[in-house]
Structure 1
Amino acid sequence: MTASRTDLLAWLNELLQINYTKVEQCGAGGAYCQILDSIYGDVPMNRVKMNAKHEYEYVANYKVMQNIFKAKKIDKPIPVEKLVKCKMQDNLEFLQWMKRFWDANYGGQGYDAVARRKGAPVEPPATVAPLATARATPTGLGAGAGVRAGGRTPIGGRAGSAQPEVVLQLQAQVKELSTHLEGLEKERDFYFEKLRDIEILAQGQIDALTAEGKDDETLREIQKILYSTEEGFEVPDPGQPLDEEETF
């Protein structure tokens, strides 16, 4: 029988001594890695980021997981690109599989999850949810809805009682979106630095070959890809002055 979300979260939190509230939070990958560690006891938990906040850190956790799957000959594809998006359905299906795998392979030995991650605190990963939208109030509601007919003053001020809660929800979502944006910026910088390193390496090799009167077409193609631009975008001529309207 397939376990429900509630049952899965209760099992996960008890096994790993964490406090996840949503299945989507498993998309960070750390919990999946530690489930495997509870079975085998040899997952390199020092390489697992249980407090991962950004997608590139999630991907690093799945790299560890993929290595374990390969070492243990576990014939199960890991849909990394879907899981890291922290969508409920994708992570629910994968967590259900993980629970079945755990049931079939866990030997019943005691497992100290906190000690295995060296006591590092674990905050549930943030998941970005769509902003809540207020439902339109149906017309023709009677006095039981707390509003007098004709749009007069609300009875007892009830119509405005939900406003603070809505404001708090929006503030929380703004904070979560800001955190997500910060993660995207760090991820962008992370991959930009990698491309920059490749650019420097390729240029160095090309310069060395040119000095010897040689060339390497593969390096030229790599350089061509690095310097390619989006269609319609033109690199400005550094010798051409900017128009006055574009000067700030």
Structure 2
Amino acid sequence: MGESRTELLAWLNDLLQVNYTKVEQCGTGGAYCQIMDSIYRDVPMARVKMNAKHEYEFIANFKILQNCFRAHKIEKPILVEKLVKCKMQDNLEFLQWIKRFWDTNYDGQGYDPVARRRGAPTDTPATIAPLAPSRGSAGSLHAGGSRAGGRTPITGHRSGSTLPNEVQNLQAQLREMNVHLEGLEKERDFYFAKLRDIEILVQQQLEALEVEGKDDPVMRDIQKILYSTEDGFEVPETAVDEEETF
């Protein structure tokens, strides 16, 4: 069996001089990159975003990690799609593996994680997770009532004192949801732009081949995938017409 979560976090925080509180935070990819850098000293830490907050930033970190694995011929598969979801079990298993790899390959020489990061922010990374229900609602209101000499909710004494806290909780949740939404929109635009570039390249290639009286089945298959739809995701005809006449 591997080390416990507590042991792994203590080792990670000591090695990298960070303050991770949950294994799930490793799903941002930054810590994994710097663990490998402590072994090989060749990971481009200036490009690693240690305080990543959005999934597209997590993926960028994992691409750097994959390049490191490839350069050093490490055959361990990196299940990026699972790790970036910041689930505890997936990241615990990978962190246990990378700790065993570090134990085997670390040369014992001193490592300065702060210098390697060159002053980059090291805030404990956020993880994308469901918002927890706010505390201090029904349960604590009843507790407050018993301490207040048996007052009932209809007197209004408790609602007046707890309402600002409830509003603040809702406002905090709204801000967090807005941050998540902004990250999802950036991630959507990032991948859409890539697909659009591929679509243009395929179309140009097919047009050039058509001029020469040739065809490319692979390009046709790629184009078919790009234009395929699923139930509920078809583009309305009116939307297409409006875009073309704009």
Q: TM-score, normalised by structure 1?
A: 0.79
Gaps of at least 5 residues in structure 1 are 242-248
Matched, 1:228 2:228: yes
Gaps of at least 5 residues in structure 2 are none
CA distance in 1, matches of 2:91, 2:149: 43
Matched, 1:72 2:61: no
**Counterpart code for 1:68:** C
**Counterpart code for 1:59:** I
Q: Could you tell me whether the CA contact under 8 Å between 1:24 and 1:127 is conserved in 2?
A: yes
- After superposing on structure 2, the runs of 4+ consecutive aligned residues of structure 1 that deviate more than 6 Å are 140-143, 238-241
CA offset at residue 118 of structure 1?
A: 1.4
1:16-45, Cα deviation, whole Å (9 max, x unpaired): 122223222111101101011112212222
Shift in alpha-carbon separation, 1:127–1:169, aligned structure 2, 3 A: farther
CA offset at residue 180 of structure 1?
A: 1.7
For residue 94 of structure 1, what is the aligned residue in structure 2? 94
Shift in alpha-carbon separation, 1:32–1:165, aligned structure 2, 3 A: farther
Q: Could you tell me whether the CA contact under 8 Å between 1:25 and 1:127 is conserved in 2?
A: yes
User: What does residue range 113-192 of structure 1 map to in structure 2 within 5 Å?
Assistant: 113-133=113-133, 137=139, 144=146, 146=148, 148=150, 151=153, 153=155, 164-192=164-192
CA distance in 2, matches of 1:163, 1:69: 53
* Identity between Structure 1 and Structure 2 (%): 66
**Count of residue pairs brought into register by the alignment:** 238
CA offset at residue 82 of structure 1?
A: 1.2
Shift in alpha-carbon separation, 1:170–1:141, aligned structure 2, 3 A: closer
The residue matched to 1:24 in structure 2 has which SS?
helix
Tell me which protein shows more helix as a share of its residues: 2
CA offset at residue 53 of structure 1?
A: 2.5
For residue 35 of structure 1, what is the aligned residue in structure 2? 35
CA distance in 1, matches of 2:241, 2:60: 44
Q: TM-score, normalised by structure 2?
A: 0.80
Shift in alpha-carbon separation, 1:16–1:208, aligned structure 2, 3 A: same
CA distance in 2, matches of 1:52, 1:17: 17
Q: Could you tell me whether the CA contact under 8 Å between 1:54 and 1:183 is conserved in 2?
A: yes
**Counterpart code for 1:101:** F
**Counterpart code for 1:220:** R
Q: Could you tell me whether the CA contact under 8 Å between 2:30 and 2:49 is conserved in 1?
A: yes
For residue 219 of structure 1, what is the aligned residue in structure 2? 219
